[in-house]
């Protein structure tokens, strides 16, 4: 397979937040590539996120579970997939505290199922070779998208996470992602499967499910509801605009080295309470007819969640120096784009505020 031939991607979790942004990004930039999305359409997966692509000949959507071994095997063979971009995961810490079992099933068993299927598919086509610099090695990819949470928590003055930071996950979510990372790494070192891992910081942008911090606060402001901030609000996160994340994954797929890990961060460390105040200022500016104005009056502090990591910070020097990627947006620019999207896409987020979601919300923030 020549490096100039079009790619054939299987994108797991492609109807979710980051996955759907990536699918739109890829289809727009590489219209000759084949993109197959596999998504179970659980609560955070939204088929409507991809509906505008349905008429494209190079796009296909399949509803299914990554733990379904036969389905995954058949898709890889039928579509002659050369690249898996693995987003599918249970990803919300609060939900992992309430019910960890599904996180183990999806994040660990699901990743194992994909790895086994891809290994068989890759070897069947004669790609298993001890020469890891051949053209086929540079074409086939298993890209596993992970999180900075696998590294644990940082003190205020500690250096940012690097690719060699020891793993120290503190929640069932991050522990399950750490387990999946180890599996992916082992398939490269044991079988030579061309795997790559990326560990990203907190993403934000369009199509993000309302339970996450930025859409939660944005929507509650529009509805005039309280803005619940955990603990003292001093927890620090590094924020990465989802469009910048997609561009980084593009670079990793095309130029990243199998067996490597790349940290992807936004260079935007912000305290949670400061982020909420910034959102309030943007909302006051962009949506002056709010139910409560100024909307910072809605801010309130709630009991901290168990095992809440104090600070995350990503050192993205490796991807900058080796692959020439840096984020293009500041947190102020990205937040403005995000707030504008939620203001103009009420028809997208309103149906998501179901009774099931409301029950979950009450359970977490009561």
Place of tokens 């104090």: 310
Catalytic residue from among 140, 173, 204, 361: 173
Cis peptide bond prior to 294, omega within 30° of 0: yes
Work out whether strand 83-86 and strand 141-147 pair parallel, antiparallel, or are unpaired: parallel
The answer to whether residues 266 and 241 touch, using CB atoms and an 8 Å cutoff, is yes
Instruction: Please say if 173 is a catalytic residue.
Output: yes
State the Cα–Cα distance between residues 269 and 122, nearest whole angstrom. Answer: 40
Phi, psi of 243 (to 5 degrees): -65, -40
- Token digits for 223? 């509805």
DSSP class of residue 33 equals S
Burial of residue 190 (CB within 10 Å: 0-12, 13-18, 19+) is exposed
CA distance linking residue 357 with residue 351, whole number of Å? 10
Residues belonging to the chain = 366
294 CB neighbour count, 10 Å cutoff: 11
Q: What are phi and psi of 286, to 5 degrees?
A: -90, -20
Which residue among 148, 181, 238, 260 is the active-site one? 148
Is 148 labeled as catalytic in the residue annotation?
yes
Query: What is the rounded CA–CA span in Å between residue 200 and residue 249?
Result: 10
Choosing from 65, 82, 90, 149, which is the catalytic residue? 149
Task: Provide the H-helix boundaries in the chain.
Answer: 17-29, 69-79, 93-98, 101-103, 111-124, 135-139, 172-191, 213-223, 242-255, 272-286, 317-323, 331-344, 346-349, 355-365
Cα–Cα distance, 282 to 175 (Å, whole number): 35
Backbone angles phi, psi at 97, to 5 degrees: -75, -40
What is the Cα–Cα distance from 193 to 48, expressed in whole angstroms? Answer: 34
CA distances from 328 to 14, 242, 277, 336 (A): 23, 11, 23, 14
Cite the active site residues: 148-149, 173
């Amino acid at each position: 397979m020549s490096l100039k031939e079009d790619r054939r991607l299987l994108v797991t979790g492609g109807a979710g937040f980051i996955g759907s942004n990536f699918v739109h990004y890829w289809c727009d930039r590489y219209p000759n590539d084949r993109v197959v999305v596999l998504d179970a359409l659980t609560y955070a997966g939204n088929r409507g996120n991809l509906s505008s692509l349905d008429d494209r000949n190079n796009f296909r959507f399949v509803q299914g579970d990554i733990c379904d071994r036969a389905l995954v095997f058949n898709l890889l063979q039928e579509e002659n997939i050369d690249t898996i971009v693995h987003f599918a995961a249970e990803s919300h810490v609060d939900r992992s505290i309430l019910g960890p079992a599904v996180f183990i099933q999806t994040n660990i068993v699901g990743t194992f199922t994909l790895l086994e299927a891809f290994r068989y598919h890759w070897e069947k086509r004669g790609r298993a070779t001890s020469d890891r610099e051949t053209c086929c090695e540079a074409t086939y990819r298993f890209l596993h998208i992970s999180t900075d949470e696998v590294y644990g928590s940082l003190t205020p003055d500690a250096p940012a996470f690097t690719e060699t930071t020891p793993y120290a996950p503190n929640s069932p979510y991050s522990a399950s992602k750490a387990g999946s990372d180890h599996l992916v790494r082992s398939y490269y070192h044991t079988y030579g499967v061309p795997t790559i891992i990326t560990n990203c910081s907190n993403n934000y942008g369009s199509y993000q499910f309302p339970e996450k911090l930025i859409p939660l606060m944005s929507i509650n402001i529009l509805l005039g509801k309280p803005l619940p901030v955990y603990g003292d609000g001093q927890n620090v996160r590094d924020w990465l605009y989802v469009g910048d994340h997609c561009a980084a994954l593009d670079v990793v797929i095309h130029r990243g080295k199998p067996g490597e890990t790349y940290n992807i961060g936004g260079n935007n460390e912000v305290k949670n309470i400061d982020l909420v105040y910034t959102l309030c200022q943007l909302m006051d500016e962009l949506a002056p007819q709010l139910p409560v104005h100024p909307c910072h009056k809605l801010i309130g502090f709630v009991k901290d969640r168990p095992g809440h990591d104090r600070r995350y910070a990503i050192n993205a020097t490796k991807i900058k120096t080796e692959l020439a990627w840096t984020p293009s947006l500041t947190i102020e620019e990205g937040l403005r784009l995000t707030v504008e999207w939620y203001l103009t896409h009420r028809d997208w987020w309103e149906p998501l505020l179901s009774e099931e979601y409301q029950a979950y919300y009450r359970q977490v923030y009561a």
